[in-house]
Structure 1
Amino acid sequence: MLSIVVPCYNEEESLPFFLKAVEQRSREITHSIEYIFVNDGSTDATLTVLKEFHHQLPKKVRFISFSRNFGKEAALYAGLQAAKGDLVTVMDADLQDPPELLPKMIQMIENSDIDCVGTRRSDRQGEPPVRSFFARLFYKVINKYGDTEMIDGARDFRLMTRQMVDAILDVTEYNRFSKGIFSWVGFKTEYLSYENRERVAGETTWSFWSLFKYSIDGLINFSDAPLTIASFVGAFSCVGAGIALIFIVLRALIFGDPTSGWPSLVSVILFVGGLQLLCLGIIGKYIGKIFLETKNRPIYIIKETEKDLLDKKL
């Protein structure tokens, strides 16, 4: 069986196009297919559309609906937990992940000893230049200072064996960054490249700010480089302040000048204070992640599934 996990947040316009496109490609796939749609607290009619899908294809379409919006990472984890297939793939509902690649991905994984076939965009055509610049910068930084290699342009769209999925499910941390987890668990992975695609319908919920925060979470989750940088900044500031102090004392002893220079002194104090606050902010970010982990809160809360519809009928 092939399980297709689809996180959904306000995707009522895209979902009909998605199901139609994948169903057309399913004729080229010899495996039986199950769809697992995860409604991540959508505020539109996404859940209504998913219920209609289940009525149309009751043996193939399953859905999970959260009690509120927990984020895409939680939706991915819930979908992987619910998947029953020997092969599992993760796809976005907006058709930016080409369904026509699925048959080739299955062929690759069955005709070799690899555990995962990932996909990556060969270009960023249609993406705002500022977003592309910072995306490339993120991958350069995380690969240089992080402990886990991440492929530039890699998507969450990938086909995985059951063994790899079980390994990912064993990573039960609350603060999740799936791109990093996919790489961290290991397993042999090959990548397929394709040209960037625009959404088939609807609007993206990923703003520049949300992507920036997501990248910061990824950097913190898979690297302690910010803490190291904070330590070096603190040490450099301390050494610089010591040199400046020696210079001021020698200048006062040789030339006098006991009172002048207070503007520069204030500037130095403000600069050093800013560095201290920056370092404290970095440390606080790590402490905040630890705080959330120690609470042991559930990654998500389910409000409704397709089984509830059956119970109501009974």
Structure 2
Amino acid sequence: MQQSLEDGQGRRFEYLRLSLTDVCNFRCSYCLPDGYRKPADAPANLSVDEIRRLVTAFATLGLWKVRLTGGEPSLRRELIDIAAAVSRVPGIRRLAMTTNGYRLAERAEDYAAAGINALNVSVDSLDPARFAAITGHDRLSEVLDGIAAARAAGIGTVKLNSVLMSGINDHELEGFIAFVQRHDLSLRFIEVMRTNDNTAFFERHHLAGAEIADRLDAMGWQRLAREQGAGPAVVYAQPGRPGQIGIIAPYSKDFCASCNRLRVSAQGKLHLCLFGDYGIDLRPLLQADDQQDELISRIAALTATKTPGHRLRQGNSGATPHLASIGG
């Protein structure tokens, strides 16, 4: 009989966000405006075998969805091998990846063949100049070509992520709506989140997701029922029209009540919350297949201690230096 993974609040966990690398090649203004700088003492990333053992343990506990994150996961040399290994783990039905779209157009077919069946692609502006200003790269056309290639390759779910920033891209709502309806896509607006490295940026540019929700309501968009295994977005659609808009608003009341996800860093640390104070090292239990029982027990015991919610509304973002550190 398959076990289940629950915390002390009765929340069940079926979704793992697995970081493959801390490295990112973009310089997004809300995350790594000065680019990635590798610490001199950075430990090695988890190997393919360590990742297989980790995901197998989570799957034994009822987890069926894995999202590969970074940094930028496409920079990980073993990405295809990792994706293939994870997709073959019994019980894993959804293998997703969040990417900035780097080389997506040329790699989409390889991703699909390796078992990746869902993609979230970061597109913070549909204006080429603004996209370049936000990310540090004039690559909007390449990213959009990659989205088209991913759909053509048969990746069943392709969504756009856009960080919502007051005074930077908040005026693009109508343009994004027209784009997702024209291409029948889903877009997720994500509130800027305060981390240890972006406090000044957050204070200047944070915009509550509720403001976008109010604008969608005024345009006749309706809130959809939450799907099984879905992430934190509240999703809206316009009756009779293609396309969806989701809002991820971590500063909203009761945001954490429906949490269904855990995180593991690229070096094997379990983070019970994106904005927790520390991660717990699982790597010593990932060295051999005969450690599975101990690993499963450890994951279950730690998950039971997960706190009811983050402390962002109190201005406390825990130990998270920036969103690239454990995948956002």
> Which has the larger share of helix?
1
Is TM (by shorter chain) over 0.5? Answer: no
| TM-score normalised by structure 2 residue count | 0.26
| TM-score normalised by structure 1 residue count | 0.27
Rg bigger for which structure? 1
